[in-house]
Amino acid sequence: MFGSVKLPIVRQASGAAGGFARPCRLAAALLLCTLLPPATHAASGEALAGTRSPLAESSFRLSDGATLACYRRPGHPTLVLIPGTGSTQVQFHRTGFVEKLSPSLGVLIIEMRGRGRSWPPPPPEKATVEQYARDVLEVVAGTGLDAWYISGKSLGGMICLEIAGQNPAGLRGAIPLEGWVHHAVAAEAFGEDLPAKTKAAKPKDVPPGWTEEQELALITMWRRWTGGERAVGQIRGPVLAVVGDRGLSPRPARQLLRFPEKPNIQLHWVTGADHDVLAPRFVDEVARAVNAFVARVEADAAR
């Protein structure tokens, strides 16, 4: 279970390993890498009104003093999940996604800065995909995960791709759930209206303490990220990109999604789904695809 002292940040010199060292000894991880008790600051309406997570709740204090709420289920390897723009851990429980994952698979949900029970909201200069990726990597390094997958929904999927592009130590694979490589995919592949989509992304339950500037930086973060094509081009491990086809026939060409033709990057189209691939109608299929992907990668690793 989780302890009550601050996690150290384990780093290594820059190099091919991705910037974060694999924990050397399990004993050291148990002694030094423990999580703080659950945070008690103001939380968003979704986090408080929704059912409490069935996972063990704790907090992680980042090196700059911000606190991220974490929800963990034991297992090996571990799937790290990042919610979308205005969402919290509830996103992965609302339709039973986590509960449909293989029971042997560990789960670690990380609520991003200012969302749910994570606090404070990011200053505008830290409301970037790159910063959020660094936050997740800091948690992963501190919790001592030696075999893990990264996944996320929407903006969380973009953060997932940014992380995978760094090929950090212990990462077995990436599973972006409607995580676009570039904001232009919305219009180019699906004909979706960007201004309307940005307006719809505005959180409906922002906790007290957010400024309008912070809210604007959050909801436009996905449009300001320009490193997606670089990131996916650098990914060495396997990728399962889950994409809703919006009922289009034929489906958009792969080049419109901006995923390169690389043997390690697999597309999983969800027939009839829109951006919400975790909706009740589709969640069983997506969970099965994730379970099959992890099982295949683990089998390859064992060989």
| 119-139 pLDDT per residue, tens | 999 999 999 999 999 999 999
Q: Given this model, what pLDDT does residue 51 score?
A: 53
Mean residue pLDDT of the chain comes to 84
Residue 231 pLDDT > 50, yes or no?
yes
pTM to 2 decimals? 0.84
Q: How far apart are the first and last CA of the chain?
A: 31
- pLDDT at 185 > cutoff 90: yes
Confidence of residue 13 (pLDDT cuts 50, 70, 90): very low
Report the pLDDT value the prediction gives residue 35, as an integer from 0 to 100: 52
Q: Which long-range contacts (CB under 8 A, 24 or more apart) does 5-10 make?
A: 5/34, 5/36, 6/36, 6/61, 7/32, 7/33, 7/34, 7/35, 7/36, 7/60, 7/61, 7/139, 7/142, 7/143, 8/32, 8/33, 8/142, 9/63, 9/138, 9/141, 9/142, 10/141, 10/142, 10/144
How high is the pLDDT of residue 37? Answer: 52
Domain architecture of the chain: domains with CATH: 26-302 (3.40.50.1820)
